[in-house]
A and B are shown apart, each in its own frame.
Chain A
Amino acid sequence: MGLTKWKMNGRLEPTYALLLLPALAIYGLFFIYPALSTFVYSFTNWSDINPRDVEFVGWKNYKAIFREEIYMTGIRNTLVYALISTLLINALAIPLAVALNRGFKTRALLRSVFFLPAVFSPLIIGFLWSYLYSTSDFGLINQGLAAIGIGKINFLGDADLALYAVIFTQVWQWAGYNMVIYLANLQSINPEYYEAAQLDGAGPLQSFRSITLPLLAPAITFCTVTVMISGLKVFDIIYSLTSGGPGHATETIVSLMVKKGLGEGFYAFGSAFGILFVGIVGLITYLQLRLVRLWGER
């Protein structure tokens, strides 16, 4: 449907405008209204022991976030998680896609194999990796390490290692999914570009750098932004693999928000943390898009 059909004399056609209303009402009711409520509540003393006589307390909840070390740990862990997982997932997905875009017999099978982990719920992945990482004599990875003479590694029990062990599971789970998006983009690249480059004497690496990578820009933008945002929102895999531990070593913004805001009944504080979180996600996404655009222009 052309845009002209939607507009008459530069104004939105009333018929179409009316048809938009139900969707707009639902959007307003289930997103705009709760979001605005969250913003308002973030300046109050709303909690489980004070659910009714709610009063405004100014910036108190926001100040409390920056006063406690655990919330800074949560913010730091979230940023580390999001940044590393974005880099690793995409750095693996692109070469995988390029490799599996070539014509060979087991191509379809391998694509399925790499995509398969994305089918499972993070809770199942958490359960699975919890056993793989286990330090018991039944832990598969540590059994393998012992067999080759390396001592046990306490993947999830070592506070300095646990976050990276969680990131690894997510790289394993999502690299294949992003590979599929890159594959779709690769298939839209005209093969004639590569033929011309080959005639001009360009090697595979140069073709990749000068043709593939620039023409993958739309998929790179999409994948890096979506992986970054889901990385910033990480909760389920943390919940299922470490529950934020050992100690508070793997707490993230959302795990703390759920714990403090819902579990401990500090609803207003949770709202403030949520609003701050939206700000952080917005800022990082904006910077990331600017960066990708600058790279595209270059």
Chain B
Amino acid sequence: MKKMMFTVVSMLLAATTVLAGCGSNNQPASPDTGQNGQEAGTGSSKEPNETGAKTKVRLSYWNKEESMASLLALIEEKLPNVDLEYQFIDATQYDTIIKTQLAAGEGPDIVGGLIDDTTVKLGYFEDLTDRFAGKYHDSGTSYVTFEGKLYGLPQASWFNGVYYNKDLFAQYGLTVPTTLDEYFAVAQTFLDNGIKPQAIGLKNANVAMQSFIALALNDHIGTAEGKDFDEAFRKGEATMKEALLPALQTWTQYLERGIFTMDMLGLEEEQAIDEFTSGKAAMFQSGPWYMDTFKQKNPNMNIGMFPNLGTKGGAGWMVGGPGVAFGINAKSKVKEAAFEVLELLSTPEGQQAYWEDNKGGSSYLKGVVFEMPEEYADAQAAFEQGNVYFPPNGWGTLRNPIIDELGKMIQAVVGGHATPEQALESADKKAESLRNK
């Protein structure tokens, strides 16, 4: 009997220990939440109350906390009733983790990204129209607006253009190109002098895709003829092969002219940066997020940026768009506090705080203009004409899989394993399977 009792007690102890470890939260009670360590955004945090306890609001995003430091400090200062918990989730896992949480009726109170026609249809996001409509420029809100309702607030834009080494350009008496033909002439001069015209880490499929999409933007998507392409492609009313084949065929001139080579398929972006900052390559397509890296690797480097160019003329295009749009989880139990955070973000002060750690982009909040660093003077005309756009933002749920497929297939074109037709057909096929999910 004694033995049996011992066994039962041992089992209970073992089971208790194990189940305690399996619990969703084993944090001690927090004086801030006033609750037994339950997580915010999962139906646990409470609204501001008369006791003065802070309301815990959880915000998830794929950029590290440093990129939000100034904004978090501002929130702490201006919203004493809010305890904002920033949750960084790596971009590779972000979609899966947050979508799973949202599907379970849980997740953070404020969600970075993931606002598309599907997640909106599934009811994951709160309608922000009443409190934020008209505050932001349409160019930023269009991709998070569905059936006339606003579901996300677009933050400082990101963009990429073509960085160039001003000293190398001066050394060979070159001026900044304004058309693709001029670009090819500049590239030929560098080739003739044993310098790589442009470093590019084609090992990264996303880099390959962005190089092509920059040309597609100039030659089709950014033109009057192609302005509806993204929406039509999202709905299955247009194909890449029909619309973008001429642009991809033009892009292959980079290969035919020896500007991009098969060797570049073995280059990481960081390695391409080494080539650019060491003066082995004269140009590099990227955005402001690498400016500090350039300066660290070569403090004396004299850098400028011009827009991505095409064959149709004009001011050129920057590939870019809203960096992230923040939306509110429709199942959040602390919506009012979440609205307060977004309202603070939607002030010039909030925008400035966000921009502090994300310099280089521009704000979509009406009336807010950030001063552009002088390195971007050559791209000013493109900015002034509003030529900043990232076509995949208009592809809805097709966005990430098609970015990957297109990039991979462009790699195959560079490697000689696919023709431009096959590359675009493959992207169309993937898009069709995604639409019919």
Instruction: Please report A residues at the B interface, Cβ cutoff 8 Å.
Output: 15, 18-19, 21-22, 25-26, 47-52, 130-131, 133-139, 152, 154-159, 242-249, 259, 262-266
A156 surroundings in chain B (CB, below 8 A): 203, 265-266
Taking the nearest CB of chain B, how far is it from the CB of A51, in angstroms?
A: 4
Per-position 1/0 for B120-162, Cβ under 8 A of A: 0110000000000000000000000000000000000000000
- Say if the beta carbon of B432 comes within 8 Å of chain A: no
CB proximity of A102 to chain B, nearest CB, Å: 40
A36 vs B122: C-alpha distance in the bound complex, in angstroms? 27
A-chain residues with CB within 8 Å of residue B415 when the two chains form the complex: 157-159, 246-247, 249
B375 at the interface (CB under 8 A from A): no
Contact partner, B95, options A133, A155, A263, Cβ 8 Å? A263
The yes or no answer to B4 lying at the interface (CB within 8 A) is yes
Asked if residues B274 and A138 are in contact (CB atoms below 8 Å), the reply is yes
Report the minimum CB–CB distance from B277 to chain A (whole Å): 11
Instruction: Verify A19–B11 contact, CB threshold 8 A.
Output: yes
In-complex Cβ contact of B8 among A18, A154, A242 (8 A): A18
CA distance A49 to B121 in the complex (A): 9
A88 vs B404: C-alpha distance when bound (angstroms): 33
Smallest CB gap from A30: residue in B: B22
- In the bound complex, do residue A21 and residue B268 qualify as a contact, i.e. CB atoms below 8 Å apart? no
* Bound complex: CA A254 to CA B411 (Å): 21
A–B Cβ pairs within 8 angstroms, 30 of them: A15-B3, A18-B8, A18-B11, A21-B11, A22-B14, A26-B18, A49-B118, A51-B122, A52-B103, A130-B268, A131-B268, A134-B268, A135-B264, A136-B274, A138-B274, A139-B266, A152-B263, A156-B266, A157-B267, A158-B262, A159-B412, A243-B204, A243-B205, A245-B205, A245-B408, A246-B265, A246-B411, A246-B414, A247-B415, A262-B96
Contacting A154 at CB < 8 Å: which of B7, B121, B204, B265?
A: B265
Bound complex: CA of A248 vs CA of B407, how far in Å? 10
Q: Mark B185-199 against chain A: 1 for CB-CB distance below 8 A, else 0.
A: 000000000000000
In angstroms, how far is the closest chain A Cβ from the Cβ of B410? 9
A137-B275, A246-B203 known; A50 vs B437 contact (CB < 8 Å): yes
**A135 and B263 in contact, given A48-B118, A157-B203 (Cβ under 8 angstroms):** yes
Interface size on B, residues (CB 8 A): 46
The reply to whether the CB of B10 lies closer than 8 angstroms to some CB of chain A is: yes
Most buried by A among B8, B263, B401, B414: B263
Contact, CB under 8 Å: A136 / B267: yes
Which residues 392-436 in B have Cβ within 8 Å of A in the complex?
397, 400-401, 404, 408-409, 411-412, 414-415, 417-418, 434
A247 and B11 contact, Cβ closer than 8 Å, known pairs A15-B4, A136-B271: no
Chain A residues positioned under 8 Å from B408 (CB to CB): 244-248
A26 to B7, CA, bound (A): 18
Q: State whether A157 touches B437 (Cβ < 8 A).
A: no
A158 to B265, alpha carbons, bound, how many Å? 7
* Residues of chain A lying within 8 A (CB to CB) of residue B202: 157, 246
Please provide the chain B residues from 233 to 276 with a CB less than 8 Å away from any CB of chain A in the complex.
Answer: 262-268, 271-272, 274-275
Report B1-56 residues with CB < 8 Å from chain A CB: 3-4, 7-8, 10-11, 14-15, 18
- Chain A residues positioned under 8 Å from B268 (CB to CB): 130-131, 134
* Minimum distance in angstroms from B267 CB to a CB of chain A: 6
Complex contacts, A243 vs chain B, CB 8 Å? 204-205
By beta carbon, the residue of chain A nearest B280 is A137
Asked whether B99 is an interface residue with its Cβ less than 8 Å from the other chain, the reply is yes
Given A154-B265, A157-B267, A245-B203, does the pair A136, B275 have CB atoms closer than 8 Å? yes
Q: Write out the residue numbers on chain A whose beta carbons fall within 8 Å of the beta carbon of B205.
A: 243, 245
Q: In the assembled complex, which residues on chain B have CB atoms less than 8 Å from the CB atom of A249?
A: 415, 417
Shortest Cβ distance from residue B425 to the other chain A in the assembled complex, whole angstroms:
12
Q: How far is the CA of A279 from the CA of B309 in the complex (A)?
A: 51
Whole-angstrom distance between the alpha carbons of A244 and B204 in the complex? 10
- How close is A15's CB to chain B, nearest CB, in angstroms? 5
